[in-house]
Amino acid sequence: MDLDYFTLARVIHVVAVVLWIGGVSMVTTILIPGVKKLKSKEEQIATFEMIEGKFSNQAKITTLLTGLTGFYMLYDLDAWDRYLDYRFWWIHAMTFVWVIFTIVIYVLEPFILHRLFKKYATENPEKTFRIMQRMHWILLLLSLITIAGAVAGSHGWLLIG
Ligand code: HEM
């Protein structure tokens, strides 16, 4: 049996997406609501940082794998012109979601957001966790729409056009 690198890339792509977006769903729907119920703000901040920190390390690897395999598939299909066709909106969506998360995980979180979170969570934990949950919901919904569009689109159901 020949080793089919395209299929291998697709398998790694999907497994990485499952681990990554599954983790975003866990943080959004379980971790943040759970942390909000803890009694003291010290406990809230420490618990959130401990669990989110572990997820963030994993997400650095899974976003990298998603990007590498995604661009490899575009290269292998020689499908760069899909960026010029609105029917492939799900390719734009995948790239957009990936760029946003990559900037957040590799640049904003370590250099800016981590410091801001500590400052605002100490001053006003309720408001800070509310804003964070809202941001996570937006990213999660965007990711789920992207996944639905990508599965439909890559199996020939373009939805538009
Ligand atoms: C740099 C970013 C990305 C690129 C270049 C990329 C590229 C691709 C390509 C070329 C395919 C195969 C399309 C086809 O078979 O016609 C694909 C499939 C897919 N991608 Fe991405 N992708 C990226 C990021 C993402 C992200 C962030 C997600 C999830 C939020 C995602 C989810 C998926 C899914 C679910 C499939 C469908 C797999 C299947 O049903 O076989 N991708 N991607």
Enter the tokens of residue 143: 């990711």
Minimum-distance ligand 1 atom for the alpha carbon of 66: 24
R_g over Cα of the chain: 18
- Owner of token pair 């669990």: 51
Q: Could you tell me if 35 and 41 are in contact, meaning their C-beta atoms sit under 8 angstroms apart?
A: no
Mean pLDDT value of segment 104-131: 95
Q: What is the pLDDT of residue 2?
A: 65
The answer to whether the CB of 143 is under 6 A from ligand 1 is yes
Check: pTM over 0.85? Answer yes or no: yes
Minimum-distance ligand 1 atom for the alpha carbon of 153: 16
The answer to whether the CB of 92 is under 6 A from ligand 1 is no
Q: What is the pLDDT of residue 19?
A: 98
Minimum-distance ligand 1 atom for the alpha carbon of 71: 5
The answer to whether the CB of 154 is under 6 A from ligand 1 is yes
Task: Inform me whether the pLDDT recorded for 79 exceeds 90.
Answer: yes
Q: What is the pLDDT of residue 3?
A: 74
Q: What is the pLDDT of residue 161?
A: 61
Mean pLDDT value of segment 59-81: 98
The answer to whether the CB of 139 is under 6 A from ligand 1 is no
Q: What is the pLDDT of residue 158?
A: 81
